[in-house]
Structure 1
């Protein structure tokens, strides 16, 4: 690609075809043959042949490591394949009498052998200083003090001129939030940098390479020679010597930086920020020192995660307490509106908002600071016509709904949940405009200059890093994940209360009757018009499978057709079950769920081969319900918990019931892949499956069936989940 600032976000920086020249690279295949190597090997080993392509690594081992035992590279790779290369890296060797580190990593079917000097430019012993520095870092309980002290400690350890803690915002731009620097340097604390300065693909690589060194921006990178049959470029994602984008090199030169070093900071496996280190003279840090510095980043990441989780937990408990109290008030009061708006705890306590409005049964009840009645009416009309989901939130309403500019001072951010689209019933929370003055390191709207070089116009990274201020309007404080979860839960509670107290007088009886008639017709069509052709397909497939003369490939295709017919038949049966639930008569009887749950768990242990210790069954208080339907509920939820936690090490599923004076609540908790916050409002919808389920089997019908069964039992179900951290399904049965 011809890369400039117009397309640098698409630059394939993982396949640069070059390395930084302070070390050299050899790439071997599974058979030990050399497929690639850097052109600069002779700079380090003059007597080695210029072209090593297709030679076996054993033929040059004695030249590379004169004091090493025979076949030492193959032995290192064999050990690393079994135990992980972090156990072998770095391997200490000497080349031409100088100490070198050999670092081994994977690249598809290849092994990267990277050789770097084993001595840093710094006189500081990073390895020795690391323990004391970490102790001093973690002494701070306050988050900002922790970050400030971390910058100071990293500077003391590696001796760079400037060390910054750089945090990424949701849109990818970054801000310097802590800094330690030489006295003569101008402070960059508080400066913001556009997302293009560290584009998306670079941010992705920082999640895999937790440290990144650019030793000298002025040295020419070394090219990589490849075998003639190597048509694919070498993937250098895990390479430590990987060359740097020319755009980024020019960017550092424009700042006067001659060497940079970064340490990744992660939160929940996502890139939170960087410890970015700048030197105004060339600097090299050896592999062991970089690994020691990486430990600082990992410990700081853990400290950040702990403090953020602690804050989230406090917020979650506050919202949960408010929603629980509102739920009790709705079931106690005959007037749902008054229950939500007339007590000491109101809709306002479910989130951190400045105002809220409840539109219910042709009434508009406003709390706190809100737009005017006419503005709210126009806003709800816009929501009805433009937002298809039952849940919507934004912290920049004027950008989506320009009319909101008129009342952005009170409602730049909204969170809206639909109670009934047909009746125009909503709950909407409002956050006011939060004016921000952002100080950029240069004007982000003019990030580049055009220069002429030999008649060709190239875009160069900006040279000006003078402060440039921008006032951001029409934006509120962001809605947190905890606020989203709180509103999803509250909507479920409101819907439940409406169904309990006002279902008989709601106006959709005729539409509901018509829908049931259409559903009956639909069910009849499925059971007759669809199941018969499937039976025919399956019958003919089974006949063909008996023919032993068919080729193996043909038999394999027929097996797939047969399995597909079974899958389609199961899906049809699930849809039929879904359509029948509300029309099925049942008699409530006393049930001991413990027996049902244990039978389900025993079956799942056999099916999935899960160790018995992975599933914990706590108290199982009795409930009132239909045994067949309740068995279907527990089977669906528990099997999902097991399926979606299979990849966790180890998988954990906990099933427990709790009893109070009004209800029995069962919780099924797993440590699986979790549910993205954006999918929570729709998790019980028919045929809805989340993006991250991969190849895990499912039709998207099971949870919809579960919800219908629970509602038929006059109970309620809700879920609390976090992506990558597991899910908790809660099922409440009335006594």
Structure 2
């Protein structure tokens, strides 16, 4: 390619990437569009096919509605429902399907969403019934539950989507690290061309398109040959509407030509997301036009969400299996040496393990670097200059724990003699005062990459005033012989490398939890068990709450309080490793507001008793229902009311009595709700105990008997207050808005939540860091007066930061979502510990204590 053509190609790529595909000014003609101001008062835009959609031969309706009040065009019930929908918090981030309405004699399916300046109403003719598509969800649930590998899940998913939607071809398309894509699963009808195993260059799906896929989830093109319907505007000088979320959004002419060149008339794309990132797509192609009914799209969207959740879980399990396998080998390798080694011996031990390291990673060599010197190497490794260049490359990409390169040419090192037989490398660092770099090398391997068409084919539109892409015309398989590359570093390789790094950190005795590897398998198994149980319990609570409440607000408030009660119990059981949490403390958690009054309104009487951990969630929910009812209708709803809870030994078990007095006169309820069923049935049904509730006029009396297997006498375990960090005094006299706060948290959503809470408190200058390296970068640049440190930062901990802050005299506290009772080194045991999910009041008190 000549330099001039290469420059024109780059200009054309840039132009394509900048195309405003979110605001094309047209829609697909299988639906129609109305847009209003955000207040839903008057119509600002209308598609010129509205008349045709309503069965009129002329466009008088389309032309005349501009500027008219919305309630003069649409029925009152629809306007009412539109106003309700526009009050939802998600109205600007997702389409809301309202249902079917009669408009001017036609039955239309209506959806709505809002942009920053307009409300957009999509109208589609009514076609099929939802019942014909629901089997997809039932089969999907079975498929998701029984599949244990990502490859198998993708293969089953494309078959299910094809069977349900009727498309000629369904492909699962994975995005690769270089931006290109590969078809990894496919189901197609007889005669349809197969693209399984073929790759597509990154330019086929520009970044702007990928961002839209991530945002919308599902994208349809009903007929690339059908004319688009222009959108008419009241104000012709106004910019085109933002149609990002509109399902009937018109498609790009380039994309339409691209599909035509593939022999495709209709298409649907379904985003596959993993951990909030676009992993790939399901691409559905059909040789004839195909309008996807709203009911089917709704089912497909639900399938997409179910699939992405399960796919993410399976990928996590595969990563865990890779790491577990590596951990088993490493544990055998280091179990004896690590116990006998002194801190000075650890580098020597690591170097001696070079051969098994290389075998685990299918590497041909490894080099060890510290302080810009190669300490040792094994097998095939390049020259010192190349090794150091790879170490510097890793430093330049320090936001990741592991960096890989598959072609040394990418390092701009023209002297191939320095490479030796190596072609690529994988690098990670063991942090310490003098960080140790491990770089693994792979030799060159000649390989064939199968492309859908020649990726080097670069065609531009002739006679265009400025360079413009012409979509590829051929998708025939094209084999490209790749030289000067090593075998790709796969996700499995990265998982194994992470495990090696974790084990070496433990071996190095650096201030990181050296117990982590030994406990990992047990913790994961226990975590999986508890998560499954608690999710099943929450699902049941959500369903029963929905059935027993009358409004969305009541449902949200009730469900939130019940889940909060479960969370408090879960904290008590897991936060301090208690198998037999103290009964009095469990009651105190729920009744805390009434125990802390100047004149306590709740009396707790009974011996020291521990309750079995698996019984605690049920018990806490029962007490929560009693407390909630007392606060709403019973003794705790008035200042004169009191509650007495007493327990004592009774027939080998425990008799517990809840007695209310001094409240409003009690009358037996006319109907049974979820709360009453829970109080009376949960303990007898699940744990063979007894429960009775008496609606006495003087106050409710509930009696429970707990069998001996649920209790332990004299068990005094319970909550333990977190001590204040033992740090030297520092300058804490600044106004709140001037205090610099550093939040170290690897989850962006959690970090954003903490930032929001801190700003409510009055702290305005907040910086968040996802890793130890980023945190130290900020600490070198700025002076902070308060720090909040998440203990577990993916493959590292924040203890190194904590030691630094301790020496500097900066107030700080830990946050964690795990059982970290035994995780803190002796020097940090006095540091305050805040459990996740973050409670706003607890965080505010913690900040006040630290700054006081």
Q: Does 1:707 align with 2:718?
A: no
Q: TM-score, normalised by structure 2?
A: 0.57
Q: What is the distance in 1 between the residues matched to 2:315 and 2:471?
A: 35
Q: What is the distance in 2 between the residues matched to 1:209 and 1:451?
A: 34
Q: Name 2:97's counterpart in structure 1.
A: 89
C-alpha contact (below 8 Å) 2:743/2:769 kept by paired residues? no
Q: What is the distance in 2 between the residues matched to 1:642 and 1:220?
A: 46
Q: Does 1:22 align with 2:114?
A: no
Residues 486/636 of structure 1: CA separation in 2 closer, same or farther (3 Å cut): farther
Q: What is the distance in 1 between the residues matched to 2:452 and 2:68?
A: 51
Q: Does 1:72 align with 2:82?
A: no
Q: 1:44 aligns with which of 34, 37, 53?
A: 53
Q: What is the distance in 2 between the residues matched to 1:687 and 1:643?
A: 19
Q: What is the distance in 1 between the residues matched to 2:725 and 2:101?
A: 72
Q: CA deviation at 1:208?
A: 1.6
Pairing 1:236-635 to 2, within 5 Å after superposition: 236-317=243-324, 329=337, 332-334=340-342, 335-342=345-352, 353-359=363-369, 364-367=375-378, 369-371=379-381, 375-382=382-389, 393-398=403-408, 399-400=410-411, 401-403=413-415, 407=419, 409-417=421-429, 426-433=437-444, 435-452=446-463, 459-473=469-483, 474-478=485-489, 480=491, 482=495, 485-486=498-499, 489=502, 627-628=726-727
Q: CA deviation at 1:448?
A: 2.6
- Provide the secondary structure at the position in 2 that maps to 1:296: helix
Q: Does 1:35 align with 2:44?
A: yes
Q: Name 2:779's counterpart in structure 1.
A: 687
Question: How many corresponding residue pairs?
Answer: 568
Q: What is the distance in 2 between the residues matched to 1:630 and 1:370?
A: 55
Deviation string 1:78-103 (CA, Å, 9 cap, x unpaired) is 24524756896142023465432011
C-alpha contact (below 8 Å) 2:130/2:295 kept by paired residues? no
- Provide the secondary structure at the position in 2 that maps to 1:14: coil
Q: Name 2:228's counterpart in structure 1.
A: 221
Q: What is the distance in 2 between the residues matched to 1:35 and 1:194?
A: 40
Q: Name 1:55's counterpart in structure 2.
A: 68
Higher relative CO (Cα under 8 Å, sequence separation at least 6) belongs to 1
Between 217-226 and 488-497, the greater mean CA deviation after superposition: 488-497
Residues 276/188 of structure 1: CA separation in 2 closer, same or farther (3 Å cut): same
Cα RMSD (Å): 5.1
Q: Does 1:101 align with 2:197?
A: no
Q: CA deviation at 1:419?
A: 7.3
Deviation string 1:160-209 (CA, Å, 9 cap, x unpaired) is 11111111112221111111111112321111111111111111111121
C-alpha contact (below 8 Å) 1:166/1:176 kept by paired residues? yes
Residues 212/726 of structure 1: CA separation in 2 closer, same or farther (3 Å cut): farther
C-alpha contact (below 8 Å) 1:99/1:119 kept by paired residues? no
* Unmatched 5+ stretches in structure 2: 1-8, 513-588, 590-619, 621-716, 732-739, 758-766, 790-797, 830-852
Q: TM-score, normalised by structure 1?
A: 0.65
* Unmatched 5+ stretches in structure 1: 63-69, 500-601, 603-612, 653-672, 691-695
Q: What is the distance in 1 between the residues matched to 2:281 and 2:81?
A: 36
C-alpha contact (below 8 Å) 2:741/2:787 kept by paired residues? no
Q: What is the distance in 1 between the residues matched to 2:433 and 2:748?
A: 35
- Provide the secondary structure at the position in 2 that maps to 1:171: coil
Q: Does 1:205 align with 2:212?
A: yes
C-alpha contact (below 8 Å) 1:642/1:651 kept by paired residues? no
Residues 4/226 of structure 1: CA separation in 2 closer, same or farther (3 Å cut): farther
- Provide the secondary structure at the position in 2 that maps to 1:48: helix
C-alpha contact (below 8 Å) 1:91/1:101 kept by paired residues? yes
C-alpha contact (below 8 Å) 2:28/2:228 kept by paired residues? yes
Q: Name 2:119's counterpart in structure 1.
A: 111
Q: Name 1:546's counterpart in structure 2.
A: none
Q: 1:160 aligns with which of 154, 163, 167?
A: 167
Q: Name 2:670's counterpart in structure 1.
A: none
Residues 95/685 of structure 1: CA separation in 2 closer, same or farther (3 Å cut): closer
Residues 201/727 of structure 1: CA separation in 2 closer, same or farther (3 Å cut): farther
Q: CA deviation at 1:482?
A: 4.1
